[in-house]
Amino acid sequence: MTPDAGFSETPLPPTSPTILHVEGLCKSFGGRTIIKDVSFNIQEGEFVAVLGPSGAGKTTLFRCMASLIAPSQGRVVVFDTCPRDIKTRKRRQIAVVFQQFNLIGRRSALGNVLAGRLGYVPAWRGLTGHFSRDDRLWALQCLDRVGLLAHSERRADTLSGGQQQRVAIARAIAQRPAIVLADEPVASLDPQTGRSVLDLLRGICENERVAVVCSLHQVHLARAYADRVIGLANGNVVTDVRVAAFDKTSFNRIYGDASGGDLGSVDFAE
Amino acid sequence: MTFRRSVTESLVPIEARQPSRIWRRIRVSTITLLIATFYIASWQLAQVDLRRLVSGLPRLAYWLSKAWPPELDDLRLIMQRMAETISMAALGTTLASILAIPTAIMASRNITPAPSLYRPVRLFLSILRGIDSFVFALLFVAAVGLGPFAGVLGVGLHTWGSAAKLMADQIETLPLAPLEAAETTGAGRTTAIVYALLPEIGPIVLSVSLFWWEFNVRASTVLGVVGAGGIGQELKNSMDLLDFRRLFTIIAIIVIVVSIVDQLSGWLRARLS
Position A9 scores a pLDDT of: 42
pLDDT digits (tens, 9 = 90+) for A173-210: 999 999 999 999 999 899 999 999 999 999 999 998 99
Residue in B176, B184, B191, B206 to test binding to A, most A beta-carbons within 10 Å = B184
| Model confidence at A144: pLDDT above 90 | yes
Contact A171 B199 (CB under 8 A): no
Residue B37 located in a structural domain:
yes
Contact A103 B186 (CB under 8 A): no
Give the one of A92, A102, A127 whose C-beta lies nearest to B177's C-beta. A102
Instruction: Provide the residue range defining the domain that includes B23.
Output: 1-50
Instruction: Please name the residue of chain A whose CA is at the shortest distance from the CA of residue B197.
Output: A104
Same domain assignment for residues B11 and B86 = no
Chain A segment 185-244 residues within 8 A of B by beta carbon are none
Tell me: do B162 and B244 sit in the same domain. yes
Report percent pLDDT > 70 for chain B.
Answer: 100
Query: What's the gap in Å between the CA of A178 and the closest CA on chain B?
Result: 12
Residue A129 belongs to a domain: no
Both B46 and B79 in a single domain?
no
Kindly report the average pLDDT of chain A as a whole number: 86
Note the pLDDT of residue A226: 94
In-domain check, residue A221? yes
pLDDT band at A25 (very low <50, low <70, confident <90, very high): very high
Residue A3, C-beta contacts closer than 8 angstroms, at least 6 positions apart: A198, A199, A202, A224, A225
Q: Is B223 inside a domain boundary?
A: yes
Domain-located, residue B46:
yes
**Residue B120's domain is classified under what CATH number?**
1.10.3720.10
Residues B123 and B8 in one domain: no
Q: A88 touching B, CB under 8 A?
A: yes
pTM over 0.80: no
Q: Chain A residues with CB inside 8 Å of B186's CB?
A: 88-93, 118-120, 175
- Considering only the beta carbons, identify the residue of B189, B190, B195 that sits closest to A115: B195
Which domain range does residue A64 map to? 17-103+163-260
B40 plus B102 within the same structural domain? no
In a domain, A116, yes or no: no
Provide DSSP, chain B: ----HHHHHHHHHHHHHSPPHHHHHHHHHHHHHHHHHHHHHHHHHTT--HHHHHHHHHHHHHHHHHT-SPP-TTHHHHHHHHHHHHHHHHHHHHHHHHHHHHHHHHT-TTT-S-GGGHHHHHHHHHHHHHS-HHHHHHHHHHHH-SSHHHHHHHHHHHHHHHHHHHHHHHHTTS--HHHHHHHHTT--HHHHHHHHHHHHHHHHHHHHHHHHHHHHHHHHTTGGGGT--SHHHHHHHHHHTT-HHHHHHHHHHHHHHHHHHHHHHHHHHHHH-
pLDDT tens profile B78-92: 899 899 999 999 999
Determine what percent of chain A is predicted with pLDDT higher than 70: 86
Taking the C-alpha atoms of residue A99 and residue B152, their distance in angstroms, rounded to an integer, is 49
Q: Are residues B41 and B87 in the same domain?
A: no
- The verdict on residue A3 lying in a domain is no
| Interface ipTM > 0.85 | no
Residues B30 and B79 in one domain: no
Whether residues B200 and A107 touch (CB distance < 8 A) is answered with: no
pLDDT for the residue numbered A258: 58
- Residue A137 domain-assigned (yes or no): no
Per-residue pLDDT tens for B102-128? Answer: 999 999 998 888 889 999 999 999 999
CB < 8 Å from B in window 100-119 of A: 100, 102-107, 115-119
Tell whether A178 is within 8 A of chain B (Cβ). Answer: no
State whether A118 and B184 contact (CB < 8 Å).
no
Burial (Cβ within 10 Å: 0-12, 13-18, ≥19) of residue B61: exposed
Backbone angles phi and psi of B229, in degrees to 5: 75, 175
How many domains, chain A? 1
- pLDDT band, residue A241 (cuts 50/70/90): very high
Question: What percent of chain A has a predicted confidence (pLDDT) above 90?
Answer: 62
Nearest to B186 among A92, A103, A105 (CB): A92
**Is A4 inside a domain boundary?**
no
- On whether residue B43 sits in a domain, the answer given is yes
Has residue B59 been placed in a domain?
Answer: no
Which of B180, B188, B195 has the CB atom closest to A68's CB atom? B180
- Chain B residues lying within 8 Å of A103, measured CB to CB: 178, 181
Is residue B68 included in any domain, yes or no?
A: no
Whether the CB of A131 is below 8 Å from some CB of chain B: the reply is no
Q: Which amino acid is at B118?
A: Y
Q: What pLDDT does A7 receive?
A: 39
Number of domains in chain B: 2
Chain B residues with CB under 8 Å of A156 CB are none
pLDDT tens by residue, chain B, 273 residues = 788 888 888 888 888 887 788 888 999 999 999 999 999 999 999 998 889 889 888 888 888 888 788 778 888 888 998 999 999 999 999 999 999 999 999 999 988 888 899 999 999 999 999 999 889 999 998 888 888 898 899 999 999 999 999 999 999 999 889 999 998 998 888 889 889 998 988 889 999 999 999 999 988 888 888 888 888 888 888 888 888 888 888 999 999 999 999 899 889 888 877
CATH number of the domain that residue A74 is part of:
3.40.50.300
Q: Do B143 and B245 belong together in one domain?
A: yes
Q: Is the pLDDT of residue A150 over 80?
A: yes
Residue B67 within any structural domain of the chain:
no
Residue of A nearest to B196 (CA): A104
In this structure, how many other beta carbons lie within 10 angstroms of the beta carbon of residue B125?
22
Mean pLDDT across A11-33: 81
Q: Does any CB of chain B come closer than 8 Å to the CB of residue A98?
A: yes
B31 assigned to some structural domain: yes
Q: Omega before B69 cis (within 30°)?
A: yes
